[in-house]
Amino acid sequence: MSRCLADRSIDHVVLERGEVANSWKNERWDSLRLLTPNWQSRLPGYGYEGDDPDGFRTMPETIDFIERYADVISAPVRTNTSVTSVRTVDGGYSVATTQGDWRCRTVVIASGACAIASVPAVAEGVPSSIKTFTPMDYRNPDQLEAGGVLVVGASASGTQIASEIHRSGRPVTLSLGEHIRVPRVYRDRDIEWWMDAAGVLDEFYTEVDNLDRVRNVPSLQLAGSDDRRTVDLNSLTDIGVKLIGRFAGINDGKAQFSGSLRNLCEMADLKMNRLLDLIDEWETENPCDGGASPPHRFEPTRVEESPPLGMDLNSGEIQTIVWATGFRPDHSWLDVAVFDRKGRLRHDGGVVEAAGIYLMGIPFLRRRKSSLIDGAADDARDLSDHLAAYLDGAATER
Amino acid sequence: MSAPEMSSSGTPADNGVNVQALLDARKALAEAPEAAKFQWRAQCEWLEGTQSRSTVEGFFGLGEEQKHKSVFTFDADHPEVFASEDRGATPVEIVLAALASCLTAGIASVAQLRNIQLRSVTATVEGGMDIQGILGMDSDVRNGFDGIKVTYTIDADATPDEIKAIVAQSQKRSAVFDALTNPTNVTVEVN
């Protein structure tokens, strides 16, 4: 966004509560890599120039990428500046920060979708003898006691963390609800390549039937790794991870799990097959250079005959719980009446209901790829158009 | 609910479900969520032995008391192998029938929304139960089902995957499926 504003000579400042790439530096686990291939992170005027385009950036590499971008575009960043409030004033907004106040006509909220780890209410009933983590404070298996671990949530974070912890010798039970299964590689190409090429990632928010639903869809079960392994539930079961249903409640120290596990796994398989059908149809109409191996389907998710429905949390079987149950943004500093009855920001594709306020970087903000680094470019272009027109006082056609 | 798709034959499907009314209801309820608070009810009267008669007549919803068009009654009893008179289905069989009915209604609704013509839909429900639980013989054995299996046979104007997806979606939105697979607070009081 800063780059787009600079291109239009719109005077602006970027406020960052920590250092550039703060979340990547402080709120990610050690082994995390981007789950999108290196070539896929394309920022305005900047992309990957290394010799491993199909590889996956590590956290240090991601941090480096973002820091160098900030440098290359000479982004006007004020670091160690936390915004404490944004209020409406005559002519625009008053921004209070830990380093002084600003007045501005427009505000772009780019603080991300993952400021706060969402932990379900059921967590309150967990016995205090069990240590708990979220992906925000989890760093590596050595933080954890020896013994059993319950990982709750089977999206990208949950499956990666479950795999890593189980491989460290701590038996993992994975409690899962709705999840999105995809293979890493299909017909010789990365799944992200297919989704990018076939236009899946460019799907526009106005074309979607139930926008609320798609904005809350869990992240794909994907991980970046040198061996391009798939981190679906079968791969976890193969190494000995035990699957159980959604964490439904705690009664007297006994955790209760939903009996709908089989349905959720089947839905994920069906959804994956619909994506692969779409890819196959697209490839037939757009044959790949160098061809592609024939279409095929993956083994259905294996679910045991009678998955356990309960677990005694006081038995010592579980020493740690990792709540990989999603994230939400932190807009608590925004003192403007633009929230719905569930506390979510009201916006139309990133144009917030209050004049001059814009939102970046949330799932399906404007396109399916909006939650990816790659999505920022198109979103920033669209929204900076709108912002520029707003500053000019002109009407905007979207 | 997901987007309508074209039916294979190109003609609109009619499974007898008014999905437009459901979609309209969703819109209206989004503006008035209090109206979405329903309360379902049944009365039950002991007759004799293990036989009782349940009556369903009124419920609360859309902000006011509602009444069914007619009064529905069903008897329940225990079978002769339980040394009883077998004057009605067992309560647990009624639960299995409720599950099948709920899922079946969901299948019809989802198929209608996806413009898929159903020709026939039948379900067989099986619920395993070790009666040592209800006989109080073994505290390791639960009273309820140790597992429930529903098997659908569906003839419809759709591919096998489309049919599976309809059945999967029906479970996702089924009240009885949720009631059976997830915990529910149940309070029993005496006047």
Q: What is the pLDDT of residues A202-223, one digit of tens each?
A: 999 999 988 999 999 999 999 9
pLDDT of residue B2: 47
Superfamily name and number for A122-327: FAD/NAD(P)-binding domain (3.50.50.60)
Contact A153, A221 (CB under 8 A): no
Q: Which of A209, A260, A270 sits opposite B181 (nearest CB)?
A: A260
Residue of B nearest to A177 (CA): B172
CA A68 – CA A3 distance, rounded (Å):
13
Tokens 């009933």 label which residue?
Answer: A125
- Asked whether this chain's domains A2-115+329-392 and A122-327 adopt the same fold, the reply is yes
How far is the alpha carbon of A268 from chain B, nearest alpha carbon, in Å? 10
- Asked whether this chain's domains B18-88 and B90-183 adopt the same fold, the reply is yes
List the 26-85 stretch of B: residues with Cβ below 8 A of A: 33
B175/A contact by beta carbon, under 8 A: no
Q: Do B182 and A248 touch (CB under 8 A)?
A: yes
Q: How do the domains of chain A map onto residue ranges?
A: 2-115+329-392, 122-327
Q: Do A270 and B181 touch (CB under 8 A)?
A: no
Tokens in use for B112?
């209608």
Where do the H-state alpha helices sit in A187-285?
191-197, 211-215, 233-238, 261-285
Q: What is the pLDDT of residues A113-162, one digit of tens each?
A: 999 999 999 999 999 999 999 999 999 999 999 999 999 999 999 999 99
The per-residue pLDDT of chain A, averaged, comes to 95
The per-residue pLDDT of chain B, averaged, comes to 94
Q: What is the pLDDT of residues A2-21, one digit of tens each?
A: 999 999 999 999 999 999 99
Q: How do the domains of chain B map onto residue ranges?
A: 18-88, 90-183
Other beta carbons less than 10 A from residue A391's beta carbon: 15
Q: Residue A243, SS3?
A: strand
Does domain A2-115+329-392 correspond to CATH entry 3.40.50.620? no
Q: Does the structure show a pLDDT above 80 at B179?
A: yes
Q: Does the structure show a pLDDT above 70 at B1?
A: no
Q: What is the length of chain A? A: 398
pLDDT of residue A215: 94
Q: Does the structure show a pLDDT above 90 at A397?
A: no
Q: Does the structure show a pLDDT above 80 at B72?
A: yes
Q: Does the structure show a pLDDT above 60 at A200?
A: yes
Q: What is the pLDDT of residues A285-320, one digit of tens each?
A: 999 988 899 999 999 999 999 999 999 999 999 999
Q: What is the pLDDT of residues B144-161, one digit of tens each?
A: 999 999 999 999 999 999
Q: Does the structure show a pLDDT above 50 at A53?
A: yes
Closest alpha carbon to A133 in A117, A146, A154: A117
Other beta carbons less than 10 A from residue A145's beta carbon: 11
Does domain B18-88 correspond to CATH entry 3.30.300.20? yes
Q: What is the pLDDT of residues A153-198, one digit of tens each?
A: 999 999 999 999 999 999 999 999 999 999 999 999 999 999 999 9
- Residue B178, Cα to own-chain centre: how many angstroms? 10
Give me the interface pTM, i.e. the ipTM: 0.85
CATH architecture of the domain covering B90-183:
2-Layer Sandwich (3.30)
How far is the alpha carbon of B163 from chain A, nearest alpha carbon, in Å? 11
Q: Does the structure show a pLDDT above 80 at B6?
A: no
Q: Which of A245, A256, A270 sits opposite B168 (nearest CB)?
A: A270
Q: Do A256 and B165 touch (CB under 8 A)?
A: no
Contact B161, A270 (CB under 8 A): yes
Percent of chain B with pLDDT over 70: 95
Q: How confident is the model at residue A341 (pLDDT cuts 50, 70, 90)?
A: confident
